[in-house]
Amino acid sequence: MNHYMRSPSSHPGLREAPVAGIERRIATPSETEGGPGDRWDDLTAHDLDRCASFKCRSCIESRIASVRLGDVDLARIGLGTNRLTNTPHNAAFIKEAIAAGVQMIDTAHSYTGGQSEETIGEALSATTGSFMVATKGGIGGPGQGKPEVLRAQIEQSFGSLGTDRIELYYLHRVDPVTPIEESLAAIKEYQDSGKITHIGVSEVTIEQIERARRVVPIAAVQNEYSIVQRKYDAVVDYCSREGIVFVPFFPLRGETPGRAAEIAKQHQATPQQIKLAWLLRRSPAMLPIPGTLSLDHMKENLAATEIQLSEAEFNSLN
């Protein structure tokens, strides 16, 4: 059996940041003032606040190298697989995604009737590298968050993924008839036995996150969020403060602002890349998971990490 969390990647020139959950690299004052600059400095939370007075403030979020989830540094663009079906082409695509640099593969018990998990399990059974597979359970209506239902779904996910340990498992939705505490207690049983490493929650408010954290440490929050879907702005800020990775799903959904197309031309990029770059600039905790079945589109998404929006560009998109 395999478990899908490969060895942490190393990032030349970077050191572990002292801020929980986030690894940053920041230009030194000499770099931002036009000097040559020959090093990257780590920032504490206090330093980050003080940087408001530096010229480098406008590039802070756009220069973040990775997001740390537990003891693993993850590239800041992942892959959503809600449309992934079990075909040889799609299995090859998953392998190609890992080879191209994707380090977070996101799936769920419910995706394509279980085919998404099965495809990922088959594709990655003999794959080595630095990546993490996250899955979810507990969606589909009242009662899906009951402990016995979640246990059955977790067991099925182990089989579909072909693994004996899941590195990140989300409660997919808060069940309207089951207290979140009861749902998470069932998932925690697997964490206590070493079969689940990290736990997350999805489509939640700050109040629900805080209730969840009284049961178990929350490593990640996955809510719908994008440049045009800003319902969870306060949750993003909360996760940034608390060192919780924020994973926006459907990060490219919705109308593209006209200003994004203008900025894209200036960066020789696509408007979709600018929408992703805006998310990365929005918070150091951000790890978007755009879904695609196209290798070209996936590589285009990954390239968005190279785009550094200026403060003026970022604010104009707000």
User: What type of residue sits at position 117?
Assistant: E
Task: Tell me if residue 225 is catalytic.
Answer: no
Would you state the structure tokens that stand for residue 223, as one six-digit string?
């809510």
Residue 88, C-beta contacts closer than 8 angstroms, at least 6 positions apart = none
CB 190 within 8 A of CB 154: yes
Among 62, 53, 65, 61, which Cα is nearest to 29's?
Answer: 53
d(CA 263, CA 38): 29
Annotated active-site residue in 111, 169, 170, 190 = 111
Would you state the structure tokens that stand for residue 261, as one six-digit string?
């197309």
d(CA 190, CA 40): 39
Among 82, 68, 123, which Cα is nearest to 290's?
Answer: 82
Q: Where are the beta strands (DSSP E) in 114-256?
A: 132-137, 163-171, 196-202, 220-222, 245-246
HEC secondary structure over 59-103: HCHHHCCEEEECCEEECCCCEECCCCCCCHHHHHHHHHHHHHCCC
C-alpha separations of 276 from 119, 191, 213 in Å: 26, 32, 29
Q: What is the CA 33 to chain-centroid distance, rounded? A: 33
d(CA 153, CA 127): 25
Residue 14, C-beta contacts closer than 8 angstroms, at least 6 positions apart = 23, 25, 40, 65, 66
d(CA 232, CA 286): 13
Q: Which residues are catalytic?
A: 111
